[in-house]
């Protein structure tokens, strides 16, 4: 298979008519391009950022620490340019080229709380830097809104999406262990990565101490067995530089090469989609307007169907800017829900030291951690909050630090610093589900513009009492589990340091009723049937489970439906 993804020249326009246009080349956009081209459609894939070729453009993937001018550390200028994203990602000299410069790409935040929005403006988007944790949702997630009369009911259930989970998992490659848990369904797994001795000890202690909890290895999109044109994970844990082995799933390594091999994909980078064009006569979208980020020229491209996969906030922002006589408040916004119900996961860390297994160490750098599935509000209701949280974490044995050794100089000090510390670091990070709240919104800023003179998104977002109560419990229970395992020096982040993850969801939710939702059960805009939204914007609730696998399954499902509807001449 040809692994190269050829982009069109930025200074010439490709043909302007296609069967389908896909906006965004990240995880869901890559899947849309793959599925639609494989089903026979000519697809134009538009990416606002620069081209990135698999292997060729992973410029730092094989560099040693001493080959970086600042040994991998951020400079003062970098600290300012990546201030917000660094709160959830380790943005540094080795990977900053895969993150946007926040000074050049601002967004507006109103009070009361700060929303961490990470962006990757390049072919592949954040599929080059994501954490790769992949978990199926269950009906505990899909039925929660209805049972608790919060937000609106999901228009689908687990049975609707389960075959599509299986479909995408077989292509992606997810390593993990079968656990037989109804509220965290098993995937089609490759062999799991091993836990280290300290993690096995924590797992055994938790299983013995708590009837409702278990510690398992993370379910991660890193290959433990090779796939066609992709090698296995090398346990380097340098994934966010790009993997030249194809050991983890990304658009660049997996979906886009397959789409390109069909001969039906046209990829155009440096293409900022400014508007979805609506045709009042046909009552359908007819295409998009594009600003070339390099030349400043504008183009229009036309298609029979459109998939919007620019990421949660960017997709909502594009739809809000796509106004017409039919949709004066944004494309498909008859319900007034477009831009509302922005959700994420809450996040808090607890860590401690375990002073056993001092005769053992780890081999390699496993690109994965441990996972504690949700146990709150599963079998019985918690009195203080709704929904639940999981933990992701791990154990590692650090090197001895100068503070851990006796004062010394020269060769003796150097020798001491090559030895492992007399303890293991053990940490658990709670990820909690945020409830949909119509006051958490994305708008079009009326005051701030970017360097192209275009308006930027404006966010108003806050934590609710439910989030505070949930994460207070998460910190307390993580502390108790580490204590039960014999950890010492346990430190829990104060609740005042609660922060958002990069799992933004909502803003164009699916639903059963066009009066209260933007999309239907097939991810179509209710009032504009040839436009599909399958990135995080479509989500009706947030679960506490990482969402990317669900985006992929929904995208494959929607693409299959869209092509069938085209053949039936319904679009």
Q: What is the DSSP string of 234-256?
A: -S---GGG--TT--B--IIIIIH
Specify whether 333 is located in the same domain as 360.
Answer: no
Q: Is the previous residue joined to 570 through a cis bond, with omega within 30 degrees of 0? A: no
Would residue 109 count as lying in a domain? yes
Specify whether 492 is located in the same domain as 558.
Answer: no
Q: What is the CATH number of the domain that holds 84?
A: 3.50.50.60
Yes or no: say if 273 and 309 are a contact pair by the CB < 8 Å rule: no
CB atoms within 10 A of CB 282: 9
Q: What is the CATH number of the domain that holds 205?
A: 3.30.410
Yes or no: say if 316 and 441 are a contact pair by the CB < 8 Å rule: no
Round to whole Å and give the CA distance between 366 and 393: 12
Specify whether 125 is located in the same domain as 243.
Answer: yes
Yes or no: say if 175 and 220 are a contact pair by the CB < 8 Å rule: yes
Specify whether 302 is located in the same domain as 358.
Answer: no
Specify whether 320 is located in the same domain as 427.
Answer: no
Which residues on adjacent β-strands are paired with residue 110? 460
Specify whether 99 is located in the same domain as 54.
Answer: yes
Q: Give which of 266, 239, 265, 263 is closest to 253, Cα–Cα.
A: 239
User: Residue 250's pLDDT is what?
Assistant: 98
CB atoms within 10 A of CB 364: 11
Specify whether 427 is located in the same domain as 523.
Answer: no
User: Residue 131's pLDDT is what?
Assistant: 96
Task: Give me the sign of the Cα torsion angle 414, 418, 422, 428.
Answer: positive
Specify whether 337 is located in the same domain as 349.
Answer: no
Specify whether 336 is located in the same domain as 403.
Answer: no
Location of structure tokens 């082995």: 245
Q: Which domain holds residue 81?
A: 18-58+73-133+228-343+442-459+503-567
Would residue 478 count as lying in a domain? yes
User: Would you state the structure tokens that stand for residue 239, as one six-digit string?
Assistant: 């994934």
List helix spans (H) across 439-533.
465-484
DSSP E strand stretches across 297-361? 298-308, 345-354
Specify whether 277 is located in the same domain as 338.
Answer: yes
pLDDT per residue, tens digit, the chain (571 aa), is 344 565 654 455 567 999 999 999 999 999 999 999 999 999 999 999 999 999 999 999 999 999 999 999 999 999 999 999 998 888 999 999 999 999 999 999 997 788 999 999 999 999 999 999 999 999 999 999 999 999 999 999 999 999 999 999 999 999 999 999 999 999 999 999 999 999 999 999 999 999 999 999 999 999 999 999 999 999 999 999 999 999 999 999 999 999 999 999 999 999 999 999 999 999 999 999 999 999 999 999 999 999 999 999 999 999 999 999 999 999 999 999 999 999 999 999 999 999 999 999 998 999 999 999 999 999 999 999 999 999 999 999 998 866 666 656 788 777 777 889 999 999 999 999 999 999 999 999 999 999 999 999 999 999 999 999 999 999 999 999 999 999 999 999 999 989 899 999 999 999 999 999 999 999 999 999 999 999 999 999 999 999 999 999 999 999 999 999 999 999 9
Specify whether 476 is located in the same domain as 560.
Answer: no
Would residue 171 count as lying in a domain? no
Specify whether 90 is located in the same domain as 239.
Answer: yes
Radius of gyration for the chain, computed over Cα atoms and rounded to the nearest angstrom: 24
Would residue 167 count as lying in a domain? no
Report how far apart the first and last C-alpha atoms of the chain are (Å, whole number): 32
The structural domain count of the chain equals 2
Statement: the pTM of the whole predicted model exceeds 0.85: yes
């Amino acid at each position: 298979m040809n692994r190269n993804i050829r982009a069109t020249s930025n200074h010439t326009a490709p043909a302007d008519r296609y069967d389908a246009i896909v906006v965004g080349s990240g995880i869901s956009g890559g899947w849309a391009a793959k599925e639609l081209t494989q089903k026979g459609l000519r697809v134009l894939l538009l990416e606002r950022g620069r081209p990135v070729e698999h292997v060729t453009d992973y410029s730092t993937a094989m560099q040693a620490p001493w080959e970086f001018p600042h040994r991998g550390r951020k400079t003062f200028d970098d600290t300012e340019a990546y201030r917000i994203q660094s709160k959830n990602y380790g943005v540094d000299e080795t990977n900053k080229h895969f993150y946007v410069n926040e000074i050049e790409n601002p967004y507006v935040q109103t009070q009361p709380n700060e929303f961490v929005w990470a962006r990757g403006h390049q072919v592949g988007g954040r599929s080059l830097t994501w954490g790769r944790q992949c978990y199926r949702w269950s009906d505990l997630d899909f039925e929660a809104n209805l049972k608790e009369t919060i937000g609106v009911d999901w228009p689908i259930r687990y049975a609707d999406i389960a075959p599509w989970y299986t479909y995408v998992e077989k292509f992606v490659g997810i390593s993990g262990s079968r656990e037989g848990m109804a509220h965290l369904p098993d995937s089609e797994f490759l062999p799991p990565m091993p836990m280290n001795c300290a993690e096995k000890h924590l797992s055994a202690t938790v299983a013995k101490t708590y009837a409702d909890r278990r510690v398992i290895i993370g379910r991660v999109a890193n290959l433990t067995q090779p796939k066609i044109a992709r090698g296995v994970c090398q346990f380097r844990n340098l994934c966010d530089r790009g993997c030249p082995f194809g050991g983890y799933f990304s658009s660049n390594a997996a979906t886009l090469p397959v789409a390109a091999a069909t001969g039906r994909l046209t990829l155009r980078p440096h293409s900022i989609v400014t508007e979805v064009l609506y045709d009042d006569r046909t009552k359908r979208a007819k295409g998009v307007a594009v600003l070339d980020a390099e030349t400043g020229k504008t183009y229009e491209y036309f298609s029979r169907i459109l998939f919007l996969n620019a990421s949660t906030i960017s997709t909502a922002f594009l739809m809000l800017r796509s106004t017409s006589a039919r949709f004066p408040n944004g494309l498909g916004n008859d319900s007034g829900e477009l831009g509302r119900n922005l959700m994420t996961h809450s996040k808090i860390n607890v860590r401690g030291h375990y002073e056993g297994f001092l005769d053992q160490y780890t081999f390699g750098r496993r690109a994965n951690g441990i996972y504690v599935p949700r146990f709150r509000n599963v079998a019985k209701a918690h009195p203080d909050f709704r929904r639940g949280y999981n933990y992701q974490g791990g154990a590692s044995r650090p090197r001895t630090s100068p503070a851990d050794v006796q004062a010394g100089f020269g060769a003796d000090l150097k020798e001491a610093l090559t030895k492992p510390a007399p303890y293991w670091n053990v940490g658990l990070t709670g990820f909690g589900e945020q409830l949909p709240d119509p006051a958490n919104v994305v708008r079009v800023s009326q005051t701030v513009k970017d360097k192209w003179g275009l308006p930027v998104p404006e966010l108003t977002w806050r934590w609710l009492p439910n989030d505070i109560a949930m994460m207070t419990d998460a910190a307390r229970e993580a502390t108790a589990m580490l204590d039960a395992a014999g950890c010492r020096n346990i430190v829990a982040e104060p609740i005042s340091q609660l922060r958002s993850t990069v799992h933004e969801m909502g803003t164009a939710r699916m639903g059963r009723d066009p009066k209260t939702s933007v999309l239907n059960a097939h991810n179509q805009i209710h009032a504009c049937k040839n436009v599909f939204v399958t990135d995080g914007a479509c989500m009706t609730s947030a679960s506490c489970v990482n969402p990317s696998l669900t985006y992929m399954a929904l995208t494959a499902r929607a693409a299959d439906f869209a092509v069938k509807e085209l053949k039936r001449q319904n679009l």
